[in-house]
Structure 1
Amino acid sequence: MNKETIEAGKSIAITSYILGIGVFIAMSMNAESKNPFATFHIRQGLGLTLTFISLGLIISNFDSLLISFPMWIFISVLWGYGIFTAIKGETKPMPLLGTYFQKWLSNIS
């Protein structure tokens, strides 16, 4: 990927890491240009959002800080990793789940 492509998609990529609504905003921003850098980070952001929602639904049944706190740490670390790689202009998948996000969400462009 060249520098122009990365710079053109950087704001979209950063927007995609705003949990929840940010992914959909980034998808609409990337609808016309189809920037590959932004698309990579949209997939990562959407995967992170879906992971956050699914873990939250499962863990909310337990109502225990000993169970919910590690989930928040896990999501926070992945979120920080994703947003910092977008800011640096890199396309590194998130640890543990990033390659799966790219595979499972490959139809999102």
Structure 2
Amino acid sequence: MDQETIDKGKASAITGYILIVGVFIAMSMNSEDKNKFASFHIRQALGLSLTFISLGLIISNFDNLMISVPMWIFISVLWSYSIFSAIRGDVKPAPLVGELFQKAFKSIS
């Protein structure tokens, strides 16, 4: 991916990491020019947001710190890795789940 594509899509890519609202804003920002860099990070951000919400819904039933703290750490590490990857201009999927997000949301471009 060339540097011009990365520079044009960087704002949309970073915006996507603002939980679920940012994903929808980034999708609308990327709707006209279909930047590949932005699309990659929008898929990552959507996957992370849905993972956060679904794990939160499941784990909230237990009301136990031994269960909820690892979930928060897991999501925080993945989110930090992904947003710093977008800021640096890298196209690296999130560890463990990034490739799954790319396959599951391949229709989002």
Runs of 4+ in 1 over 4 A off after TM superposition: none
Percent same amino acid among aligned pairs? 71
Match of 2:97 in 1: 97
1:66 to partner: Cα distance? 1.0
SS of 1:106 mapped into structure 2: coil
Does the alignment pair 1:25 with 2:31?
no
1:65 to partner: Cα distance? 1.0
Task: Name stretches of at least 5 consecutive residues in structure 2 with no aligned partner.
Answer: none
Match of 2:2 in 1: 2
Does the alignment pair 1:14 with 2:17?
no
Match of 2:65 in 1: 65
Task: Name stretches of at least 5 consecutive residues in structure 1 with no aligned partner.
Answer: none
Letter matched to residue 54 of structure 1: S
Equivalent-residue separation in structure 2 for 1:90 and 1:77 (angstroms): 17
Letter matched to residue 25 of structure 1: I
CA RMSD of aligned residues (A): 0.5
Letter matched to residue 97 of structure 1: V
Alpha-carbon displacement from aligned partner over 1:8-66 (angstroms, at most 9, x marks no partner): 00010000111120000000000001000000000000000000011001101001111
Match of 1:51 in 2: 51
Equivalent-residue separation in structure 1 for 2:59 and 2:45 (angstroms): 21
Equivalent-residue separation in structure 2 for 1:13 and 1:40 (angstroms): 8
- Number of equivalent positions: 109
Letter matched to residue 7 of structure 1: D
SS of 1:49 mapped into structure 2: helix
